[in-house]
Chains A and B, each alone.
Chain A
Amino acid sequence: MDWQRLLVSYFVGFVLLNVLLGLMAYMTWFERRVLARMQHRVGPNRTGPFGLLQPIADGIKLLAKEDIVPANADRLVFLVAPLLSFALAPLGAAVIPFGESLHLFGLEIPLLVADINVAVLYVLALGSIGVYGIILGGYASGNRYSLLGALRSTAQVISYELVLGLSLVGVFILAGSFSLQDILREQQRVLVIGPLTLPNWYILSQPLAFALFLIAAVAETNRAPFDLPEAETELVAGYFTEYSGFRFSFYFLAEYINMIVVSLLAGTLFVGGIDGPFADGVWWLALKALFFLFFYVWLRATLPRFRYDQLMGLAWKVLLPLALLNIGLTGLVRLWGIGAL
């Protein structure tokens, strides 16, 4: 065991976790401001300049609130479920490469926590365990709205996880690897088609997969228009109806961290991650992720909510066949034709 590398990894992970939590807090601020602008409102603007201290105020408020456990709740599960959700959310960021290695004090510090060669599958696996936070929270609340929300969420996450995974298969076929490092390396190559010189971003060669990934990612993170598990107009708040105080905020944090992780993942998988004109670097990834986050907010401001059966129908009748089609086409292309690419 290389203790030094392990320590460096822990250090990078620690920094990343904190950055992620900070970003998450300001993601709520960003969402509220952007949403307010889209809806002819002002948004939070009283706490600090431009309301920048609002997330901190919210955090303090949530921490100071009473932690209520309903009488007929399954107590232990009720208490643990939000922690599960919250703990799993930032883990996905561990495999995302934020740039080339740094050299500091004679140490080589890689700008990612862990280089797993099944990185993408690892993220998917995290998503599939993350559903336990929701389903157990809904079950343990002893509330029928929560139960319905949990059921919806389970069905939704399983279905869309399938789409999410299958939409990525095309990328795997082209890259020949599950590793994000390899996928990134592939994308940093330059594609020359006649007079055009393009980056080899997979959004160009896999546009269908990109669209599917985007839709499935919105559904996977339970955001509008797929926010059925927490559809406030039908199920009050879905699986976290009974939660209050900081346990509620754990679900809240988990949702936003998931959004950020998925945006980072989309940026890395399809639009070249840290790759960009002028100078590669983490800022390009941040910019791309910010665009996806903006897209999330934009969707929420624009679209009504699907009905449950329509949502499932969309996943199984439209998206899944399209994903399979994409895999078939990509496989054929890879097999017969354009191996030269």
Chain B
Amino acid sequence: MIDFSQSTPVILSEVRQLTPTRRELVLNMGPQHPSTHGVLRIRLTLEGETVIACDPVIGYLHRGVEKLGESHRYAQFVPWTDRTDYVAAPSNNLGYVLAVEKLCGIQAPERAQYWRMIMAELTRLASHLVWLGTHALDIGALSVSLYTFRDRELILDIFEKFCGARLTTNMMEIGGFSREIPPELPEMVREFCRYFPKAIQQYEDLLTENPIWLARTKGVGIIEPDVAINYGLTGACLRGSGVNYDVRKAMPYLLYDRVEFDVPLGTHGDVYDRYLVRIEEMRQSIRIIEQCLEQVPTDGPLMAYESQYVIPPHKNVMTTAEDMQRHFIWVIKGFSPPKGEVYHAVEHSKGELGYYIVSDGSPIPYRLRIRSPDFVNLQSLPYMAQGAMLADIVALIGTIDIVLGSVDR
């Protein structure tokens, strides 16, 4: 037990100013900088090229998404979740709709859950591809980024076929999917699963044994496992340090307990380990998608049972008076979940994405909190950066895998 009366608080002014000595240079990296993945700003104190201190300044992309969530009806907020982490929009949708479904006490039918899993894993692949491309680009491997974006197009094509949008998909709906799955979609996904392992092999050929890549990533940015836990890291940042925490395994949502997959864990906790872990995660995602495609029923409902919480099927709205009324009320007034508060987390491609919703029984969430993994993971940057070289900073930003839309919300 720590005796708090004994611990001396750090003197704030010293921390904040960190007055550079004459040998040191304060470099303001960002918010407009090619490798800060958006509008991250970092105040670096450099001695030569060695980083003495690093202070991330965020908030340049703050749009008040939580405040907006507290002024929109439950279903109206789904498109906003796309805009938090815009490279992995379906996963954000998923986290939100699962939280709302938990609040309402409903669950999507089996077939919809399988398709949600497929889409979530495809999202993970798309997000990891963006990560790999930009991470490699930061370190200077130009071509990998173009290869990954080439393959990401295939995933976006699948999204487009599925819901008509490519980036901000607004794909999941509360209760399941209200539209039928396009009949050619399973074959598209299968085709992609056949192709993609070769693509992963191509990236690995370019990077995994490349001596310059090894020199840039091995032993850089080590986070010890206990430090990782203490910082509250999740996702590949935590698993790269060897701690086994994957929400899909630890507290399975959807039907993740019905598919077999392994959670890759790193053995050293450095940038290279996180790279290996994410590459392996991509392989495991393909495994999950293949199993889902085998198990998913070809026919069956995609929307939850008819309750006040879900939008009635489109066909019925046009044919039955009752559903038309329900539809009218659902659209105009929204629905009122019971009073209460829920927290639901999903394994986003960056870590644990949690939605904490407090409901006061009105159609508008009383409090909507997004626990974004990027925000928490980014905190470990100063820890990793101290004593690193300037060039390592870009590798470290890359390895945390942030999207500023999700950090700033």
A and B touch in the complex (CB under 8 A): yes
List 19 interface pairs A-B (beta carbons < 8 Å), by A numbering: A39-B142, A39-B143, A144-B28, A145-B27, A148-B27, A225-B140, A232-B34, A233-B137, A233-B140, A234-B391, A234-B393, A236-B34, A304-B210, A304-B212, A305-B216, A306-B140, A307-B389, A308-B390, A310-B216
Would you call B179 an interface residue if the criterion is a C-beta within 8 Å of the partner chain's C-beta atoms? no
Contact with B along A212-232 (1 / 0, CB 8 A): 000000000000110110011
For residues 118 through 148 of chain B, which have their beta carbon under 8 Å from a beta carbon of chain A? 136-143, 146-147
Does A301 sit at the interface, judged by CB under 8 A? yes
Contact flag A233-B143 (CB < 8 Å), given A144-B25, A304-B210: no
Q: Is the CB of A234 within 8 A of B215?
A: no
Residues of A within 8 A of B (CB): 35, 38-41, 144-145, 148, 152, 224-225, 227-228, 231-234, 236, 300-310
CB distance from B252 to the nearest CB of A (A): 38
A307–B390 CA distance with the chains assembled, in angstroms:
9
Is B188 in the interface zone, CB < 8 Å from A? Answer: no
Give the secondary structure class of A's interface: helix
Additional A-B contact list (19), CB under 8 Å, known A227-B140, A305-B141, A307-B391: A39-B142, A40-B150, A144-B27, A225-B140, A225-B212, A231-B140, A233-B137, A233-B394, A236-B33, A300-B142, A303-B210, A303-B212, A304-B136, A304-B139, A304-B141, A305-B139, A305-B212, A306-B216, A307-B392
Number of B residues near A (Cβ < 8 Å) is 32
* C-alpha spacing A227/B139, complex, angstroms: 11
The answer to the question of B213 belonging to the interface, with a C-beta cut-off of 8 Å to chain A, is: yes
Q: How far is the CB of B138 from chain A (nearest CB, A)?
A: 5
How far apart are A110's CB and chain B's nearest CB, in angstroms? 42
The 10 nearest A-B residue pairs measured at CB:
A305-B140, A233-B35, A304-B141, A39-B146, A304-B140, A307-B391, A304-B139, A233-B138, A304-B212, A39-B143
CB–CB A40/B147 < 8 A: yes
* Interface of B: prevailing SS: helix
Q: Judging by beta carbons under 8 Å apart, are A38 and B143 in contact?
A: yes
CA distance A308 to B136 in the complex (A): 17
Residues of A within 8 A of B215 (CB): 306-307, 310
Among A227, A234, A304, A306, point to the contact of B35 (Cβ < 8 A).
Answer: A234
B143 partner residues in chain A, CB cutoff 8 A: 38-39, 301-302
CB-based nearest A residue for B27:
A144
A144 and B390 CA atoms in complex are apart in Å by 13
Chain B residues near A303 (CB, 8 Å)? Answer: 140-141, 210, 212
A307's nearest neighbour on chain B, judged by CB, is: B391
Which residues of the partner chain B approach A35 to less than 8 Å between Cβ atoms? 142
Q: Contact: B390 with A234, CB < 8 Å?
A: yes
Which residues of chain B from 27 to 62 have any CB-CB distance to chain A below 8 Å in the complex?
27-28, 33-35, 46, 49
Nearest Cβ distance between residue A289 and chain B, in whole angstroms? 23
What chain A residues lie within 8 Å of B394 (beta carbons)?
Answer: 233-234
B370 to chain A, nearest CB (A): 29
Q: Which residues of A contact B165 (CB under 8 A)?
A: none
B206: interface (CB < 8 Å): yes
Interface contact A308-B391, CB-CB below 8 Å: yes
A258 to B25, CA, bound (A): 32
Q: Report B-chain residues with C-beta under 8 Å of the C-beta of A236.
A: 33-34
Q: 1/0 per position for B3-33, CB-CB distance to A under 8 A? A: 0000000000000000000000101100001
Q: What is the minimal beta-carbon distance from A155 to any residue of chain B, in angstroms?
A: 10
By the criterion CB–CB under 8 Å, are B206 and A307 in contact?
A: no
* B397 nearest in chain A by CB position: A233
**Cα(A300)–Cα(B212), bound, Å:** 13
CB proximity of B275 to chain A, nearest CB, Å: 12
